[in-house]
Structures are given as C-alpha cells and as structure tokens.
Structure 1
Amino acid sequence: MSADAASAGDPRLEALRWRHEYAGKVRDLYLSDAEPGRALVVASDRVSAFDHVLDPGIPGKGALLTRLSLWWFDRLDVPNHLAGSRGGLDALSTPLPPDLAERAMLVKRLDMFPIEAVVRGYLVGSGWAEYQESQSVCGIRLPAGLSNGDRLPEPIYTPAYKAPHGMHDENITFAQTVELVGEADATALRELSLRVFGEASAIAEQRGVILADTKFEFGRDPSSGEITLADEVLTSDSSRYWDAEAYAAGGENRLDSFDKQIVRNWLAAHWDKHGTPPPLPPEIVERTAARYRELIERLTA
C-alpha cells in the first residue's frame, strides 16, 4: 500500500466536517471545529510489519480492534479518554455511517506523555534477545537460567520513549523516564501500568488466555489533571496473547500469539526487507483475520 493511500482521509468524514489530521500505520485521527477538545480516532484494516504498511489489509481488523479496546476500557478501573458512552459516539451531534462507527472512538484530547508504558509478564521478543546478552531487560536484572517464553517472577515495567513520527521508539530505563516527565509522573505511570496489567491478566486467565506483555499510552486530562489511559488498550496490535492450554502443553506452538505473527513469519520468509513488500496471499490474510477473531471471541464470550 502506498503512503498516499494509507494517509488519505475518508471523504465521508470530510463531508461531515471532520478534518483528517494524522495517519498512523493503523489509525487515523480526525479533528472538527464543532467538537472542541475532542478527536475522532478511526481504526483501519491496514496491517504493518517491519515498518511497512502491507497490501492487502486484514478485513474487519479495524472493527475488531475497536471492539476489543472498548471491551477492556469498560472493565479497567482507571480513567480513560472516551468522550462518552458507546465509544464516545453518543456525544456526537451527527451520527457516523455504521461501517465507520464500528471502527471509531470519540475521545478527549489529552496532553500525552512521550512514554510507551510497556509491561512484560513473560520473557519473549526483544526482552528475550536483550536477556541473552545481559541477563537484564531495560536495566532490570533478571534471574539466571531463564528460557524463551518463561514466566517472570513478577511483571516488570520496561518503558520506551515515543520517538517522533517516522523514527523508531527506544527502550529506556525508569531513570530516563524520570528525566523526561519528572519523578512523580514517572512513578504514577509505572504503578498504573503494573496494576492495570495485573487486572487484565487475571481477566484473560479466567478465559484460558495468557497476557504475555502489552503497552499502554497515557496522557493528562487538561481539564482535571488526571493521568488518563488513551489510544487502544490490550488489543492484538498492542499486546501479546497466548493460548494457556497450548502454553502449558509445551511444544513448538506454545508461543503462537493471537496477532499478526502469521504475517510477520510469511514476510520474513518471502521478502529480503528491501524495496516494496510483496502482496500478502489470500490464505495469509484469512488466517490472520481468523486469529484476530478467535482472540476477541475467547475474551468476550
């Protein structure tokens, strides 16, 4: 998918006087003079891997991600950025077309912290790679002898600095977050993140799903001063989920996640990371869509 295609706004929203302000790899942000202090966040079906937006997208992905975020926002004991009920959309003076409404959230605009609040309950991914070199993750020393996918003695907070658009985020230590946002806010972000991760892990575990790790984003509500949970939350794009039964059984599939790992694996085997990525085959698209659907069915049933 071209950069122009990924960044183009929806003409139906423009007709409703929503101004396309920003295009991420998956989400689009719209502002309106008729909705001061608010923003419309619309999740697309775009899928990205290795810093590229791929073609085609995953049908229904945007609606699934939005539905899962709203399900979690409703269950977490922390202030969130929704402007009202039904994903904030009840606060809109002009309703959205149904296919847009299922992918959209009307949210309060916040003063965002430049921190991705990452929590890891298991040693996997970039954490596993770092541990092999230093027996630590983001400056946190871990016990010797851990293996890929092992559960950590307790969840750890491993923040990242949100780099400017187009640049890579950078893992940082807690001391560096203090330098960025001050000790009081850095401590509050860590405590909130670990608490919410614990709550979510317990809910997922009741449904036979392991929450291995996730990232949260927070901002300060300018009207109340509260630290507020923002963006998406605990979706397949921001979190790593595993099937608890498969994990307990061991074997090569125990770390298969409910996300776009199928896409990443296929792309790694069929592309040298130079030039334009090849189109995704229909089978890969459908298998990925099924994996997204399976997670939301498991969690919300």
Structure 2
Amino acid sequence: MILTKNPASGKLLQIYAPYSEAMVFSMLERAHAAHLTWRQVPLHERTALLLKLADVLRRRSESYARLMTEETGKTIRAARAEIEKCAWTCEIYADKAAAWLAEEEIAADGIKHRVVIEPLGVILAVMPWNFPFWQVMRFLIPTLLTGNGALLKHATNVTGSALKIQEAVNEAGFPEGLFGTLLASHTVVEQVITHPLCQGVSLTGSAEAGRAVASVAGKHLKKVVLELGGSDPFIVLGDADIPAAAKAAVTGRFQNNGQSCIAAKRLIVLKEIEEVFTDTLLAEVGKLVVGDPLDEA
C-alpha cells in the first residue's frame, strides 16, 4: 500500500493501492495509441488545450495548493505560487509554440540542412516530491505539445498531487489515455522503461536514482534526461554588501523550506568577514516563522 502523511503534523492523509502490472502496461498501450492520433492534431488545437489546462489549474488553485501543502509541508503561499507558475508556463508554451517548433534551415558545407522537431512516442517521467506540480508540468507541457504521450511515476508521498495532475489534464480535454499517473513499484517502472512502447525517460531526483534509470535506459538505447542533485555554493567575498548577502543566503537556503535542488548547500565566506556575516545571517534566520504551513503567516 501507498501511504501519504502530513509532514507538519504526522497525520495520515490517504492510503492508495498500487496498480497491477496489467493495469500499468494497459496504460502504456493506451498512451501509445492516443499518441498515434495526437501527433496528427494541428498545433493550434494542441495549444488551445494548453490554455484550457491553465484555466483548470487556476480555477482549482486553492484545492491543489492545499493538497501540496498537506503532502509536502511547503507553505500555502508557496503552493499557490507554484500552481500559478504552472498555469503561466502553459500560456507561454501556447504563445511561443509556433516559433519554437518551426522548422529551421542551417547551412553547412554548402549543403542545406533542416532541423525538424518530431514526436518520439510515450515518454516516462520519474519525478520528486519537492515541487509536486511544477516538476511534472515543466516536463509534461512541452512533451504533450510536441505530440508525445506521457506517463508519470511520481514520488509516493505526493500521490494525491500526482492523481490531481492527471485529473486536471483530463478536465482540460486532452485525449483520453494520452497522459496517465502510474502507482507502481520501482521494479514495474523499470519494466516500463524497457518496454518497446516507451521511447524515453525523464528523471529529476538523486544521483542514486539517476544511475539506476540511466543504466536501464542505456542498456535499451532509450532517450534519457537526468536532472540530479547538486552541492551549490554561496560565496561571499570581502566587498560584499553584508546585510544583502545575508538575506540572499537565507532565501537561497530556506526557499521552499530548504527543499530545493538549487538551494544554497554550502556558504563559503572570506575569513575577514566571517564573524560579521555569521552574526547578520543568524539574525535573518531568527526572523523565520516556524509553524503550520497552512497558516498565511
């Protein structure tokens, strides 16, 4: 069983039953079948559905934001901003699609070459929990726009958010089965990657997860995109504006409760200003409010 809990209170939120292997592969087959038709749909019709998805996200923003906060502990204000970012991204891709997907001619060695963007098929996404909607949407929007099908294996602690994303895509009017959320084990996900109908995989997560996915994808010559963890440095030199640097460091370390792949992981400070910077930094940290993430404050 899959259990989701509120990390702020420890309260059990929901219990989900994993899908059977038969159901998972049925969803893969349906996504592939839907893609074969979807890839022929004119671009203006695809972009119209992206605008409808933006509308769904905004109309349901409060319920989606509350669910994200309950599943991840992010503040309700940050959760609302995440939904708005997803809706805005739908609109940007809809607006720029014709230009971004246009054929491009390139001259090389006196010969004309064309760059053409074409759909691959069904793409699997393996996504982390820290930005439950945004991590998925930044993959899903361009994937669907370019005529592909898509499947999502989300982090288990945001299963509710994963299912709501599928609900939003369906409500926007995308073809039935084109996108689906898989409630599946790592073993079944590996089988999906190796399946002939899966044409690629996009993973955001740990280096360990990246190695596992890259190994399977490489063995079967599947397209793969990996965004893995980092150890981002925040460097403060002698001529820095100390108060501004301290505020920026707090934002860099604590944004999204510190649960961000681009958070400042290491503060590297010139020895001569170490003491004054540390005192200023601790004063800024002291201003942070710890409490119920559903509290507007």
Greater strand fraction, Structure 1 or Structure 2: 1
Asked whether the two chains share a fold, i.e. TM above 0.5, the reply is: no
Normalised to the residue count of structure 1, the TM-score between the two structures is: 0.27
Going by fraction, where is helix more abundant, 1 or 2?
A: 2
TM-score by length of 2: 0.27
